[in-house]
Every structure is written in C-alpha cells, then in structure tokens.
Amino acid sequence: IIHPVAVATILAENRMDPETMVAGLLHDILEDTERTSDDIREVFGPTVTTLVEGVTRVHNIRQICQAEKEIEYLRHMLVATAEDLRVIIIKLCDRLHNMQTLQYLPPADQTRIARDTMDIFAPLADRLGLGQIKWQLEDLAFQYLEPQEYLEIKSLVAQKRRDREAYVEEAKRELENMLADRGIK
C-alpha cells in the first residue's frame, strides 16, 4: 500500500482532482490483484476506471517496446494511448515514486529504470509542463546513471551551502552588534 499511497500523495501535491488521486491510489490494482475493471467501476465509477485502465495500458506498452530506437515512438504512443491526459500524469507520479525507492533494486535494474526515466519520462514531464516532476526525475536518474559525477556535484553544492550559511551567520552577527550599539533589542 505504501507505493500507491505515495503516488496519490504526489498527485495531491500537484493539485490534481479527486478522481485522479483515487486512480493514482488504484493504479496497480488491475496488474497486482484479482480485481477487475468492473469491480473498480462499481465502486468508483467510470472516470476512475478509465484512468486506471489507461495507466495499465501505458505500462503494457512499455513492456512491448524495449528497443532503444523505439523511444521516440514510445513517447508518442504513451501520449496517444492516454484517452485522458491524467493517465500520463498518474504514470509520471508512479515513475517518480519508483525512482525515489530505486535503491532497493539490483544495480542492473536501477540503471535500466534510470535510463528509461531520463529518456522517456523526464522529457514527457517537460513537454507536459510538469517542471518540478521533470527535474526530480532527472536528478534521481542522474544519481544512478552517473554516480561519480553525481557525488562530485553533491559535494560542490554542499560546500556552497556551507559558504552561504557562514555568510548569513556573519551578517546576522553584524546586524545584532549594530542593533545592540543603538540599544535596539
């Protein structure tokens, strides 16, 4: 349940409508349980059912198209297959959570999933105007695709942060001294 709840949470953070969040919560139900589309329709209605079925179809397309040369074709198919753009948004949030938990998979799977994320899902998020999801996907994928460069950049960013924090502390001390000299608490 952790993964579907995380996907629904990401959708909520991106201010998606309630039906999309429910579909995000249920997005793996057709693949991972004995439940059917009719079961979902009976409880949650036709819109949620259509979204869940769409996410399942998008997942199945990825299984079919494995060749590297088919990536651009796959991007178009992902968008074309989605009867509702929310299907793609759910899939992007699903991928984001998968990337956030990638450390639990074997290294070969990490690299393959990170490559798909960088080649397919991050550009798709960008094309849909989902910049925050795009940069999160890219950052997470980069960590697995270029680990040395990732560590170097992370170290440089941490150093810059220490420098900024030291600067702020010095400015704070100066301001406190100036205020104290003037009798201002």
> Which residues does the annotation mark as catalytic?
31-32
Question: To the nearest 10°, the Cα dihedral for 128, 134, 138, 141?
Answer: -80
Ramachandran angles phi, psi of 146, nearest 5°: -135, 70
Residue type, 58: V
Residue 100: C-alpha distances to residues 88, 105, 133, 159 (Å): 18, 11, 12, 24
